[in-house]
Amino acid sequence: MKPSHQLHLLMGILLALLLAINFSACQKEKAETANPFLPSQELLDSYDLEFQSYLQQANGQMNKEVLRYVEFGPSLLPKKVSIEGTHYELGYLIGLVTKAKFGSWHPTRNTENEAINQQIEQMYEELYPPYLDLLRGVAEARGLTLDEVDLRYMEHEYFMGAWWYLLNYQKFIDQTDFSCSLASYFLEREGRQLVGRNFDNQSDRPHFLVSTRMEGSYAVLGNSCYMPYHWVTDGMNEKGLFIGVATNGNPARYNQKEGYNYPNVPAVQVIHMVRIALEKCANVEEAISLFQSVRIWFPEEFNHLLLADADGAAAVLEWDPDKNAHVFRRDKPYLLLTNTAYLEGLDFIERYCSRYQKAKPMLETGIGDVSQLFDVMKGIQFTAGETRTLWTAMFDLSTLEMDVRYRAEGFSTPHRERIE
């Protein structure tokens, strides 16, 4: 072979090798970035280590494990949280954890905000006194009294901000680039109420399966995002009452969030009220009355709710842009809620919501058991595009059983829990 031919051959081999290396690198890069909704392994391994350390210290100081925090499995983002004790004890624990993280800084009352603080305190004395016990615990763990704490700030910013920084939510959002669906179905012959729920979001972020047994309140089992105690996105209590939350974003005028400036009258943050209702109310009508009894506040987004109970009642609770509550009770075996306003009418919802279009005929065909309702929820999961279904949860309000399946496991593993 001539030297020139040998040179051409070597250059060809080198070029092929370079192309192969480049292809391999591209494939590796593609594999690593194929799903922008997944956080890095480094973040998964480290995001809650600081919180776990503070929690262990706080439980030790109290000589009682008020809050248990358990892994489902290696590298699985959701965690299992169990809380048992008094509201004061939980508040004291949260106070110790936040003091360890943030020091002793706190917003306090002054002459300008004292009047509204007294009104908020009076509202909770009538609405749900255990919440004041929780705040009293937070305050005393930080060396304060309840009378010194600005209750406006505590209603949302304190707890939301604490968990946001404790669990590194911003890193999840920075690394990765809240819609939802809920359906209830009443099996009239059996007297069983079933509920299915898809929780959809643009990216993975810390979320929890939460079981609470607070002294003097109903036991609650459900799922939470952002705040393991306050922020119940979907759950049921020991009486068989279910409440689930979805964004009300279509038409856009319904999703005008109010921001963090507390209203000029006593108000309860909408997701906080879900927690209160589940701990206090035995059925749909009691919960609706509770929500209608006070001003509901929407600092993050406008939400609407699906409520159902073991007796077969189900309703959508929704607020208009002027914050007036509206109730839509079921008039057929099922009730379906997505992210479109019921105030616009069912014809509007069906015309503009593809999930409603898909799920409605499946529900009208009839549901016989939990597995068939799961098929409906699976059919309207988000699996591509700008959002993802993070979990699908199924509730049997008669047996008080729940199973939740996570996207990270391909929705193939039911994690089953029951309120005993």
pLDDT in tens, 392-409: 999 999 999 999 999 989
> Do 204 and 158 share a structural domain?
no
In order of 85, 281, 284, 372, the CA distances from 216 in angstroms are: 10, 12, 20, 36
Backbone angles phi, psi at 236, to 5 degrees: -130, 160
Give the whole-angstrom CA distance, residue 240 versus residue 222: 12
Which pLDDT value is given to residue 29? 38
Residue 220 lies in a domain: yes
Query: If we measure between CA atoms, which residue out of 43, 146, 131 comes closest to residue 87?
Result: 131
State which of 169, 194, 221 marks the end of a domain: 169
Which pLDDT value is given to residue 178? 59
Which pLDDT value is given to residue 2? 47
Residue 9 lies in a domain: no
The answer on pLDDT for 163 being more than 50 is: yes
Confidence of residue 19 (pLDDT cuts 50, 70, 90): very low
Lowest mean pLDDT among 140-154, 165-179, 329-343: 165-179
State which of 169, 199, 221 marks the end of a domain: 169
Give the whole-angstrom CA distance, residue 135 versus residue 117: 13
> Do 150 and 214 share a structural domain?
no
Give the whole-angstrom CA distance, residue 66 versus residue 84: 5
Q: How many CB atoms within 10 Å of residue 64?
A: 14
Give the whole-angstrom CA distance, residue 246 versus residue 254: 12
Give the whole-angstrom CA distance, residue 100 versus residue 55: 10
In order of 71, 253, 406, the CA distances from 334 in angstroms are: 35, 27, 24
The residue-averaged pLDDT of 314-318 equals: 98
Report which listed range, 7-11, 108-112, 240-244, 298-302, is most confident: 240-244
Instruction: Give me the chain's average pLDDT, please.
Output: 89
The residue-averaged pLDDT of 255-284 equals: 95
Which pLDDT value is given to residue 257? 82
CATH number of the domain that residue 393 is part of: 3.60.60.10
Residue 36 lies in a domain: no
> Do 220 and 156 share a structural domain?
no
Per residue in 182-229, pLDDT (tens digit) is: 999 999 999 999 999 999 987 788 999 999 999 999 999 999 998 999
State which of 117, 147, 169 marks the end of a domain: 169
17 exposed, middle or buried (CB, 10 Å; 0-12, 13-18, 19+)? exposed
Give the whole-angstrom CA distance, residue 356 versus residue 363: 10
> Do 335 and 403 share a structural domain?
yes
> Do 154 and 189 share a structural domain?
no
Which pLDDT value is given to residue 17? 44
Residue 260 lies in a domain: yes
Residue 174 lies in a domain: no
Q: Read off the pTM.
A: 0.90
Residue 293 lies in a domain: yes
> Do 279 and 141 share a structural domain?
no
Which pLDDT value is given to residue 176? 55
Residue 242 lies in a domain: yes
> Do 414 and 275 share a structural domain?
yes
Per residue in 87-119, pLDDT (tens digit) is: 999 999 999 999 999 987 678 899 999 999 999
Residue numbers of the domain that contains 317 = 181-418
Which pLDDT value is given to residue 108? 85
> Do 209 and 155 share a structural domain?
no
> Do 187 and 113 share a structural domain?
no
> Do 190 and 124 share a structural domain?
no
Residue 92 lies in a domain: yes
> Do 191 and 109 share a structural domain?
no
The answer on pLDDT for 276 being more than 80 is: yes
Per residue in 338-388, pLDDT (tens digit) is: 999 999 999 999 999 999 999 999 999 999 999 999 999 999 998 877 788
Per residue in 22-79, pLDDT (tens digit) is: 434 444 433 333 455 567 888 888 999 999 999 999 999 999 999 999 998 777 889 9
Under a CB-based contact definition with an 8 Å cutoff, are residues 139 and 252 in contact?
A: no
> Do 258 and 124 share a structural domain?
no
pLDDT > 90: what percent of the chain?
Answer: 78
Query: If we measure between CA atoms, which residue out of 210, 194, 188, 202 comes closest to residue 375?
Result: 194
DSSP for residue 215: T
Domains: count for the chain: 2
